[in-house]
């Protein structure tokens, strides 16, 4: 059974810092890995998708990497801003078009 773990569970940083969120998964048989953002009381917003054959994806200040063999992904956020405050969720896509989610990292960026 796939298990996804995210570290840290919570993170508080001053504005402007570069930060790294970690995600690990136990079964390397995945189709892709997606990073999502969730604001309080809201649904999920897709940030980046990395196919299983890819190593990284970039979008603006966000960069996500994938090492499928070791079961790890990282989300790098450059020059953090207060508007980045949210919960970040990592999810891997397995058989049956099913996403398995990590517990999330709750990020607070202080002005």
- Hey, is 108 helix, strand or coil? strand
Closest CA to 89 of 39, 45, 49, 37: 37
CB of 21 to other proteins, least distance (A): 16
Closest CA to 98 of 41, 29, 40, 37: 29
Binding of other proteins by 45 (CB under 8 A): yes
CB of 42 to other proteins, least distance (A): 6
Taking the C-alpha atoms of residue 9 and residue 106, their distance in angstroms, rounded to an integer, is 6
Binding of other proteins by 31 (CB under 8 A): yes
Binding of other proteins by 99 (CB under 8 A): yes
Interface positions with other proteins (CB under 8 A): 31-32, 34, 36, 41-46, 49, 51, 89, 91, 93, 95-104
């Amino acid at each position: 059974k796939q298990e996804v773990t995210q570290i840290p569970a919570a993170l508080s940083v001053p504005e402007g810092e570069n930060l790294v969120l970690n995600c690990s998964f136990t079964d390397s048989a995945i189709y892709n890995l997606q990073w999502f953002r969730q604001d309080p009381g809201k649904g999920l917003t897709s940030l980046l998708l990395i196919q299983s054959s890819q190593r990284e994806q970039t979008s603006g200040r966000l960069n996500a990497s994938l090492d499928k063999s070791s079961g790890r992904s990282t989300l790098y956020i450059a020059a953090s801003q207060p508007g980045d405050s949210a919960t970040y969720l990592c999810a891997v896509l397995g058989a049956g078009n099913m996403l398995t989610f990590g517990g999330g990292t709750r990020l607070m960026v202080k002005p």
